[in-house]
């Protein structure tokens, strides 16, 4: 056997043993120690064990489990309905202190949470498309932290979003801008305002995206584009914030369309689309436009 063949064989064996050791953890190392003693390959075995031990220590240190407690604050946007409404309740049930952002403190979701949890969930008015509203929410959070030493901002959850269903050609500039303003710019605005607190407390940025960010469905071209943009933004932000101890995550939920108000204005949106049609579009789309929304349930 030539020198190159021997080298390749040794490399293959080493990689194979590393795979076994890292994959099987402590059990894998026990097997390799036994094999090393029997085959008199102590140096190779010790090398594999050393690399494996270092790998396992690194993995365990990176996946440290953090237990919820009331001194860890989770701030969630878009709690009026759907996922945000559920997340706020789940987080407080786990033991976190929750700041829940509502577009309206008179919304059905706000009233329901107030009825169920009282002051256990801190409700704040939060319109992420409005700079003044975001600033006021941040000041409320800062004041709470200053009055409660030992508390920390554990995570913000960018959940607020809107969806307008309809083919791209039909969408008015207003309907396109609405999705960009809430889903994209609103998320940017809210996160940017909280970056100093996130750095100070080494918190987390959790952004709700969508399966449409990976495979956009027809009728959701703009919505999918905003969610894909959030994924790309999160990828870049993750690297930027890592050195400050801030983690950045994305979360793809199941379908909450029928359990949320994400399409709350769809009937009006359909009317706006129809009203904006040119004579040519009225003639071309005709019954297809009506059948499209009847079939979709809009």
Looking at the annotation, which residues are catalytic? 223
Find the radius of gyration of the CA atoms of the chain. Answer: 26
E-only strand ranges, the chain: 72-76, 97-102, 121-125, 152-158, 204-208, 247-251
Burial class (CB in 10 A: 0-12, 13-18, 19+), 251: middle
Please, are residues 209 and 227 in contact by the beta-carbon 8 Å criterion?
yes
Which residue in 142, 172, 176 sits closest to 162, CA to CA?
176
Instruction: Show the CA angle centred on residue 33, arms to residues 28 and 34, nearest 5°.
Output: 100
Owner of token pair 């003044």: 132
- In angstroms, the CA 270 to CA 290 distance is 9
- In angstroms, the CA 80 to CA 112 distance is 9
- In angstroms, the CA 199 to CA 14 distance is 42
Which residue in 109, 95, 101, 19 sits closest to 55, CA to CA?
19
How far from 71 is each of 96, 215, 262, CA to CA, in Å?
7, 39, 31
């Amino acid at each position: 056997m030539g020198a190159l063949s021997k080298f390749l064989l040794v490399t293959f064996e080493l990689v194979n043993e590393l795979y076994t050791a890292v994959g099987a953890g402590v059990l894998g190392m026990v097997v390799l120690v036994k094999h090393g003693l029997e085959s008199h390959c102590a140096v190779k075995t010790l090398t594999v064990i050393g690399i494996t031990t270092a790998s396992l220590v690194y993995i365990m240190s990176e996946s440290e489990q953090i237990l919820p407690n009331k001194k860890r604050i989770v701030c969630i946007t878009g709690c009026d309905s759907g996922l945000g409404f559920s997340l706020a309740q789940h987080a407080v049930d786990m033991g976190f202190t929750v700041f829940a952002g509502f577009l309206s403190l008179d919304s059905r979701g706000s009233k329901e949470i107030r009825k169920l949890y009282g002051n256990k969930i801190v409700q704040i008015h939060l319109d992420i498309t409005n700079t003044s509203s975001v600033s006021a929410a941040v000041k409320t959070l800062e004041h709470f932290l200053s009055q409660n030493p030992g508390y920390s901002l554990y995570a913000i959850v960018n959940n607020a979003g809107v969806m307008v269903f309809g083919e791209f050609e039909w969408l008015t500039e207003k309907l396109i801008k609405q999705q960009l303003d809430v889903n994209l710019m609103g998320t940017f605005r809210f996160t940017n305002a909280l970056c100093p607190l996130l750095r100070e407390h080494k918190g987390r940025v959790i952004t709700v995206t969508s399966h449409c960010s990976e495979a956009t469905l027809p009728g959701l071209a703009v919505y999918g584009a905003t969610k894909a943009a959030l994924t790309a933004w999160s990828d870049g932000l993750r690297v930027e914030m890592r050195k400050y101890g801030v983690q950045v995550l994305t979360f793809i939920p199941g379908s909450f369309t029928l359990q949320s108000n994400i399409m709350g204005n769809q009937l009006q949106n359909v009317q706006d689309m129809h009203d904006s049609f040119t004579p040519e579009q009225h003639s071309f789309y005709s019954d297809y436009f009506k059948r499209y929304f009847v079939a979709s349930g809009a």
